[in-house]
Structure 1
Amino acid sequence: MTQKKTNSYTDEFREGAVKLAIESNQPVAQSARELGVNVNTLHTWINKFHGEPPPGSGKQVNDVHLYEELKQLRRENARLKEERELLKKAAAFLRQRITLKYTFIMHHQSEFSIALMCRVFDVSRSGYYEWQLRPPSLRNQRDEALKANIHKHHQASRATYGTRRLQQKLSEENESVSRRRIGRLMQEEGLACKTRRKFRATTNSKHDKHVAPNLLDRHFTTEKPDQAYVGDITYIPTREGWLYLAVFIDLYSRAVVGWSMDSRMPTSLVNDALTMAIWKRRPKAGLLVHSDRGSQYASDNFQQLLTQHGYRCSMSRKGNCWDNAPSESFFHTLKTELVHHEDFKTRAEAKQVIFEYIEVFYNRVRLHSSNGYMSPVDYESALPVAA
């Protein structure tokens, strides 16, 4: 029997988990399940990072007031976001045929008056009431049911799923639907998949350090977890300045097994990311660790960390981003689905949001095409246990 791995967590992970548990309006047990952490462990971390203040200090009262104010601001922000989304939907329906306008009015009559919506859409109230009395066709009934399911999965994916992934989610519910039909229904509902933007490289390969050969050689699949990791660094804009993110990704499941964030790009940034992966996964000697030729990866400290654990070093060819395609793909996904749609006021705010995206959504929920449209955690859980 293989020895069961024990989870260890870095202080950075623990702090992020505590903030997520405290700031989210959900039970601690639910946060623990989302992070894959034992609920008692998470309670222990909360007590450690946010222990009771000294008696008579007044800090507890102030903290309660600040906490309540923060919750109120979050609720108000959520309401404003919801209103903006509704206006976006209505703008799309203004250009649609009359039956779709009637459908929008029917679905939103609890939020706005029918008279107002008929005036905005330039349709008659009598025509709308007459349309309501007509029995819907079987196809229309089927479309309405599909729209509800599409909305559910689109929202659960944080508006990141297009027709291909939505088709996969519907098939899991025994719904056989063409991608063209899904696309039509998404258009009618004003749903769209988030789009990508270009971004520039961050690491500096102009140095006099030793450069390792490309041992990975674009073999981006492995038979088991913890056989090959790929790593890279990207930048996140905030109003305080850049926040740099280093990650290591397991090629077996595309899980982000280690990450670290800092306001600068010292060698410790990549060391901490790999150390997190080592603590969490306990990879054996022989692990292949691939990266670009950045000075952080070529540094003596990083190379010593690899040597200490018996890991092999691999580096991309000069100026060839395709040699590290999985990490490039992850950063494109992160920026497409999250960063480009946020305006981070502080680095601390960005850290917490990115922590939640990686540990809760990307690793445990988001469907990955390389995994047969399974999340990384589910894909690894489906791996047969060695006898």
Structure 2
Amino acid sequence: MKILKANQHRYAVAALCRCLGISRHYAYYQCKTTKRQLIAHYADKILTIFKRSYQSYGTRRIRFALQQAGISVSRRYIARVMKSLSLVSKYTIKRYRGYQTASNSAATANRLQRQFDVGTKQQIVVADLIYIRVNHCWNYLCVLLNLSNRQIAGYHVGKRKTADLVMCALSQIKQPLSSLHLFHSDKGKEFAKQLLSKHINPFNLQRSLSKNGCPYANAVAEATFKSIQTAFIKGE
């Protein structure tokens, strides 16, 4: 019974009974544990992980973090703990909205073609912008992401959504621009070819543009912005 009690929060009681060869009725009677005691078993660890993630982790990612620490629990158990502690992740259900925005008319092809797993040989940078409300005013954050290691290569914040903002972000890249192979972005006006070509062409850095209204063509940058918005912007 000690084995069953020690593992009832990790495995189904019925499965443990089949392995141990005992009756389920007897097992449920012997393992009768109050709900409050069961929830409090790993509540402190779950609360610590949730706060460390800036209130962005759900049951799936908390379960993975616990597994990294050598603790195996079910997502259902984590959900009960989160419900008892009134923990709600910042992530919400997908919401779609349609709107028309101006874009540049550059005839640059999409050379990346959603090939995001480029390895370490090809140095490809993807770029995008996000707007942040600070003191009732809009500010814009431009982030350049290196696909080889998924790390932020450069960024810059400004009050205007212009090509100068992108150039300031490019200036933050520590490695030589000549070592980069491709610069991918959407067709926003700030990424207009005419304004950036005189700085990029001398380094033989190829351009790549997504199609209008196709966020999947720049999915890595979009996912990074989602994490930034959820963890560091929303509710802060």
The TM tier, using the shorter chain, reads 0.7 to 0.9
| Number of equivalenced pairs | 203
Identity %: 28
Structure 1 gaps of 5+ residues are: 1-135, 343-387
CA distance in 2, matches of 1:201, 1:312: 30
* Contact 1:245/1:260, CA 8 A, preserved across alignment: yes
Q: Among 183, 187, 201, which residue is 1:293 paired with?
A: 187
Q: Secondary structure at the match of 1:276?
A: coil
Change (3 A) 1:338 1:234: same
Q: Secondary structure at the match of 2:110?
A: coil
The one-letter code sitting in structure 2 at the alignment partner of 1:269 is L
Q: Among 56, 66, 69, which residue is 1:173 paired with?
A: 69
The one-letter code sitting in structure 2 at the alignment partner of 1:234 is I
TM-score by length of 1: 0.48
* Contact 1:163/1:179, CA 8 A, preserved across alignment: yes
The answer as to 2:163 corresponding to 1:267 is: yes
The one-letter code sitting in structure 2 at the alignment partner of 1:287 is H
Change (3 A) 1:269 1:200: farther
1:77 is matched with none
1:318 is matched with 212
- The answer to which structure has the higher helix fraction is 1
CA distance in 1, matches of 2:51, 2:80: 17
How far apart are 1:323 and its partner, in Å?
A: 0.9
The one-letter code sitting in structure 2 at the alignment partner of 1:328 is E
- The answer to which structure has the higher strand fraction is 2
The answer as to 2:140 corresponding to 1:244 is: yes
Which whole-Å deviations, capped at 9, do the CAs of 1:191-212 have from their partners, x for residues lacking one? 111134758889731x45x331
User: Which one is further off, 261-270 or 251-260?
Assistant: 251-260
The answer as to 2:41 corresponding to 1:145 is: yes
Alignment of 1:1-387 (within 5 A): 137=33, 141=37, 143-196=39-92, 204-205=102-103, 207-208=104-105, 210-224=106-120, 227-277=123-173, 279=174, 281-282=175-176, 284-342=178-236
User: Which one is further off, 264-273 or 298-307?
Assistant: 298-307
* Contact 1:202/1:235, CA 8 A, preserved across alignment: no
Structure 2 gaps of 5+ residues are: 1-31
TM-score by length of 2: 0.76
Runs of 4+ with >6 A deviation: 199-203
Change (3 A) 1:261 1:318: same
* Contact 2:122/2:180, CA 8 A, preserved across alignment: no
* Contact 2:163/2:190, CA 8 A, preserved across alignment: yes
